[in-house]
Amino acid sequence: ICGMASTDGVMGVLPALLAERLGVPQVTLLSEVSVNGGVVTGRRDGDTATEQLQASLPAVVSVTDQSGEARYPSFKGIMAAKKKPVESLDLEDLELDADE
User: Tens digits of per-residue pLDDT, 73-95?
Assistant: 899 989 999 999 999 999 888 88
Tell me whether residue 89 is in a domain: no
CATH number at residue 7: 3.40.50.620
Structural domain harbouring 23: 1-67
Tell me whether residue 76 is in a domain: no
Tell me whether residue 73 is in a domain: no
DSSP-assigned letters across all residues of the chain: -B-S--SSSS---HHHHHHHHHT--EEEEESEEEEETTEEEEEEE-SS-EEEEEEESS-EEEE-TTS-------HHHHHHHHTS------TTTTT--TT-
User: Tens digits of per-residue pLDDT, 7-19?
Assistant: 666 677 889 999 9
Single pTM value for the model: 0.63
